[in-house]
Amino acid sequence: MRSLLVVGLHDAQPLQNFLTESPWDVKELRQRRLDLTSHWLAGRPFKLVIDDSGDKKKGKHTDYVAR
């Protein structure tokens, strides 16, 4: 919810509709993203950081995780 507020949205439904009902081709979108990223990096060294701390816990369990 907090990330929605950062971009000025108060309801996730319009964003969800935009993403799930989009007319673009997923493969083409992924390729364009990779092409742009490659262009921006242009051979420069970089570090990839994967941070999974964005799922704020309300209790002892993380949503959507089954064991």
Average pLDDT, the chain: 80
Would you state the pLDDT for residue 32?
A: 95
Q: Is the pLDDT of residue 50 over 60?
A: yes
Segment 58-66 mean pLDDT: 66
Q: State pLDDT tens for residues 28-47.
A: 999 999 999 999 999 899 88
Residue range of the domain that includes 36: 24-55
Q: Do the domain assignments include residue 9?
A: no
Q: Which residue in this structure is represented by tokens 């081709």? A: 25
What dihedral angle (degrees, nearest 10) is formed by the CA atoms of 28, 29, 34, 38?
100
The answer to the question of residue 18 being in a domain is no
Q: What is the pLDDT of residue 24?
A: 85
User: Is 51 part of a structural domain of the chain?
Assistant: yes
pTM, two decimal places: 0.45
Asked if pLDDT for residue 2 goes beyond 80, the answer is: no
Tally of domains within the chain? 1
